Amino acid sequence: MQTAFKVLIVLMLVAIVASLGSALFHLSSARGDSRRMFRSLALRVGLSVGLFILLMIAWSLRLISPHAP
């Protein structure tokens, strides 16, 4: 169970970075598609909030600890 949560956390971090990269791409593209950039940034915020909630749930269930032995 602990390994599954850790893998999920890493996957969410990768998705957050990918969304941020997508927003950067749409910002720097020749067309400057602001709608897609906004969607990418909104998705990043949603994923970040979801990751925070997931971390709090895992911590409350003692699946992760702030200072591992």
pTM score of the predicted model: 0.82
In this prediction, residue 15 has a pLDDT band, given cuts at 50, 70 and 90, of: very high
Flag whether 10 is in a domain: no
Give per-residue pLDDT as tens, 22-40: 988 888 876 767 888 889 8
Flag whether 8 is in a domain: no
Alpha carbons 55 and 36: distance in angstroms, whole number:
28
Question: Given this model, what pLDDT does residue 30 score?
Answer: 66
Give per-residue pLDDT as tens, 34-65: 888 889 899 999 999 999 999 999 889 888 88
Domain count, the chain: 1
In this prediction, residue 69 has a pLDDT band, given cuts at 50, 70 and 90, of: low
* Domain span holding position 31: 17-60
Flag whether 24 is in a domain: yes
Flag whether 34 is in a domain: yes
* Contacts with 8 (C-beta within 8 Å, 6 or more apart), sequence order: 54
Flag whether 35 is in a domain: yes
